[in-house]
Amino acid sequence: MASVVLIGGPSGTGKSTVSELLSKTLSKSNKKCYLIEGDSWHSEANIIKMSNNIPLQDIDRWPWLEKLTQLVSEFTENYDVIIVACSMLKKIYRDFIKDKLKNNLKISNLSLFLLCNTYINVLQQMKKRENHFFKESMLKSQYDTFEKPINELNVYNIDCNNRTPVQLVDEIIKIL
């Protein structure tokens, strides 16, 4: 049985960094972890859109979310923890993921963590990024789309403001 942990939030909030650190930290506790970097599984068409400052629509995201849930299901048998870094900006996306995975008998626990920070802080962080297809000009559309969870089962807001990735991972582990 595997625990599944999804790390989400708008671009630039630290999903990849926190996911990698969480995987390394849990691995030190003898947990066999598998990390799925959601950005690596976008279709070429989605990457082209984002590279050209065209925000993705729901229709663009459904096949991507479907692929991520399929990947989770593929790895549940061989790992203790599966960590997925993906945006999950809208409640309907989070509900889709939970619905797709709820009947998987190989999943013992499903937790979704949304990294939250101010638009200005994230914009400053994004200006420091290199070699990423997502451009800072797209950040506004992510914040316009982002639905902060309110009373969603197994969905947790993690405040990133003035906190290090280590502090964020510590908070996530306490919740797990």
The predicted-structure confidence for 104-153, as pLDDT tens digits, reads as follows: 999 999 999 999 999 999 888 777 766 655 666 778 888 999 999 999 99
Domain boundaries, the chain: 2-175
Cα Rg of the chain (Å, integer): 15
d(CA 47, CA 171): 32
pLDDT score recorded for residue 123: 86
Cβ pair 76, 4 in contact under 8 A: yes
pTM of the model: 0.92
d(CA 81, CA 159): 23
d(CA 83, CA 35): 5
Residue closest to 20 by CA, chosen among 39, 43, 42, 1:
39
Cβ pair 113, 158 in contact under 8 A: yes
DSSP-derived 3-state class of residue 164? coil
pLDDT score recorded for residue 114: 98
Which architecture, in CATH terms, is 2-175? 3-Layer(aba) Sandwich (3.40)
pLDDT score recorded for residue 129: 67
Tell me what the mean pLDDT of segment 54-82 comes to.
95
Phi, psi dihedrals of residue 101, rounded to the nearest 5°: -100, -10
Say if residue 160's pLDDT is above 70. Answer: yes
pLDDT score recorded for residue 140: 87
DSSP for 56-96? Answer: --HHHHHHHHHHHHHHHHHHTTT-SEEEEE----SHHHHHH
